[in-house]
Structure 1
Amino acid sequence: MTVKRMAGAVLATAMLCTGAVACGGSDDKAGGAASGETQSRSKVTEVITAAYEKTSKAKSAKVDMTMTAPKSVGGASGDMKMSGVMGWDPTVMDMTMTGSALTEGGPEAPEKVRLLWLDNVMYMDMGAAAAKDMDGKQWMKMDLNSIAEQSGDEKIAKQLTGGLDSMNQDPAQQLALLLDSKNLKHMGPAKVDGVQTQRYKGRLSVKEMMETNKGLSDVLSKSEREEMFKGIEKSGIKGYDTEVWVNEDDYPVRMDVDIKSPEGTMKMSQKFSDYGAEAKVTAPPAGKTFDLMEMFKELGKDGSGAGADSGF
């Protein structure tokens, strides 16, 4: 597997995992509306607001995430699992990715990839086998801050970095979005990994999500958001079905969202634990990192470009 193909396969998956609105429908049959008296709208708002406030203050947690995506979404398909520590405000990550979405790239694709995120720079440990194709370095680096310079397109850079470093990494902001759902309701009690919780569900249309997503409004102008909305609407995506399970300490222990499209349903489920866990990330030594953007810059100089082989 060439470096370009390897980069295309892994980065498409990484972008999908970190940049998409957390998604995934519940297969938990317990705790539906029929299991007991449901809460009033005012009580529901009170609970989700309390969860938002506590999650905002925690700033970090341990995360276990599973995702399934149809082939057309982000160029990646199959299952993906990520586990580790994640921080928000600012965004930092130390996660390990596994799953068929990685290995579908071919027999030389890594079975697992450690992903570090720090200061808008993504580092991926591709494994010792990949070092032979990366000048003896097994860490691949993608500096999102340099995309505008390399691509010459500031709009693309704003969309990419804004999407990856916005509410999509912040469970508190996901809760804030859920509060804007007009049909947010209490679904009853349910247990998540043995923990007693209360389950809530709401739906946001694409337009509602974009209007209330502060991360998008911070990096895109009104006309750019409208253009993005038209593209999403044209793709056939109608909205986002979101569920959250809140424990007795007012922390969300699980968050799911389904995004349905004509190509299939993109699903992601996040489980949170150990709120406030240290999320200290240290970048790999510069001498052990292979700079992906520098590689593309050199390819551009010799006229070869990234090409179809890159997967970008």
Structure 2
Amino acid sequence: MKTSVRRIRRSTHRRALGAGLAAVALAAGAVSCSKGDAEESPKMTPAAAVAEAAKNSDDITSLRYSMSGEVPETGRVKAEASMRMEPDLAMSMKMTALDEGADGTVEIRLVDKAMYLGGNPEMAKEMDGKSWMKFDMSALGDDALGGGAPGASQAEQNPAADSTLLTGSKDLEKVGTETVDGVETTHYKGTVPLDTLRDSLKDEDKDVREKREKSLEQYEDMGIETLTMDMWIDGEDHTKQFRVKGEGDKGPLDLTITFLDYNQPVTVKAPPAQDTFDLAEMMQEMEEG
């Protein structure tokens, strides 16, 4: 039975990790579907514009986005997702790891403090025909999962928190005006050394510091030392698109996230119980046995 668990975890780990990283790498503030004037105010410096967009991220309660690019270990990915932060955390994402062929598509759902992985025929073959695997965060400890459910901490990360990272850039510049998904935006770019950004956290209040530390940890775990960031801000000072790049010890990170809407209703349902392989129940049966 233990061998079966390891085999299932191997078959799902890479896809789950990629999905989790996709969620955390949103790294942008609030989104707007506005098509208002994106012309920068004469008094609005690049630093002020990015700071204003970061401030507006506090208004996010839910968002929908598309993503494409490359993440360490998983390789090229594309995904679409919806995420709700209030009144409780929930997420639904469909992701394809383009370098894995037919075996590279997975769906991830986070609802009621449980993560579900499914949507892949190869997974069903390993789980007696059941098409979903459940990771119950409250019932399974790190030891049982061999370090935690793949991508769990990343999936629980509020993606809006990363929007503040670009405010730490010392070489921030305005690139120009561009149309993104039919919306007129202003494009900004800068680099962010993670050690410098971490040193600056001591001057922030507790809430801001905790949010930024969680964001930094995700990139530090990839072995990335410096991030290159691009942000496209619309005429209402909301982030419409975000790109983050870096070289890690397990490969390159290069993700572009385009926000489709925000603060719209997001409903995520758990898969049917009869189609779900509950890892917590299996581990309990093993202990009792």
Shift of 1:60: 1.6
* Aligned partner letter, 2:277: F
Query: Is the 2:70–2:255 contact (alpha carbons within 8 Å) kept by the matching residues of 1?
Result: yes
Which residue does 1:205 correspond to in 2? 193
TM-score, normalised via structure 2 length: 0.73
User: Which residue among 143, 148, 156 is the counterpart of 1:165?
Assistant: 156
* Moved segments of 4+, more than 6 Å: 37-41, 299-302
Name the amino acid aligned to 1:192.
Answer: V
Report the Cα distance in structure 2 between the residues aligned to 1:216 and 1:157, rounded to whole angstroms: 22
Alpha carbons of structure 1 residues 130 and 19: separation in structure 2 relative to 1, 3 Å: closer
- Look up the SS of the partner of 1:136 in the other structure: coil
Q: CA deviation at 1:38?
A: 8.3
1:204-252 Cα deviation digits (max 9, x unpaired): 2122454546247579xxxxx9xx79x959x863211111101122221
1:127 shift after superposition: 4.0
Q: Number of paired residues? A: 265
**Which residues in structure 2 correspond to 1:102-251 (within 5 Å)?**
102-103=100-101, 109=103, 111-127=104-120, 130-148=123-141, 150-151=143-144, 161-166=152-157, 169-171=158-160, 173-210=161-198, 212=201, 214-215=210-211, 217=213, 232=220, 237-251=224-238
What is the distance in 2 between the residues matched to 1:254 and 1:16?
Answer: 20
Task: State how far apart, in whole Å, the 1-side matches of 2:109 and 2:151 are.
Answer: 17
- In the alignment, does 2:19 pair up with 1:17? yes
Q: Evaluate the alpha carbon distance shift between residue 236 and residue 272 of structure 1 in structure 2; reply closer, same or farther with a 3 A threshold.
A: closer
Counterpart of 1:82 (choices 79, 83, 102) is: 79
- CA offsets 1:248-305 (integer angstroms, 9 cap, x no match): 2222111111011355421111110121222111212333211234445666788xxx
Secondary structure (helix, strand or coil) at the match of 1:10 reads: helix
Q: Which amino acid aligns with 1:143?
A: D
Match in the other structure for 1:99: 97
2:62 maps to 60
Q: 1:198 offset after TM fit, Å?
A: 0.3
State whether residues 94 and 279 of structure 1, in contact with CA within 8 Å, keep that contact through their aligned partners in structure 2: no
Structure 2 unaligned segments of length 5 or more: list them.
28-38, 202-208
For the structure 1 residues 280 and 205, does the alpha-carbon distance in structure 2 shift closer, same or farther, using more than 3 Å as the test? same
Asked if 2 retains the 8 angstrom alpha-carbon contact of 1:200 and 1:244, the reply is yes
Mapped partners of 1:296, 1:125: distance in 2? 19
Unaligned runs of at least 5 residues, structure 1:
25-36, 220-224, 303-312
- 1:279 is aligned to 266
In structure 1, the residue corresponding to 2:262 is in which secondary structure?
A: coil
What letter corresponds to residue 176 of structure 1 in structure 2? T
CA contact (8 A) 1:3 1:134 kept: no
Provide Cα deviations, 1:72-97, integer angstroms capped at 9, x if missing partner.
x3xx3321111031223543211111
Cα distance in structure 2, aligned partners of 1:94 and 1:52: 24
2: CA distance between counterparts of 1:157 and 1:209? 27
Shift of residue 3, structure 1, vs aligned partner: 6.8
Equivalent position SS for 1:200: strand
Percent sequence identity is 25
Could you state the TM-score of these two structures normalised by the residue count of structure 1?
0.69
1:270 to 250, 257, 261: 257
Q: Is the 8 A contact 1:163 1:215 kept in 2?
A: no
Report the secondary structure of 1:145's partner residue: coil
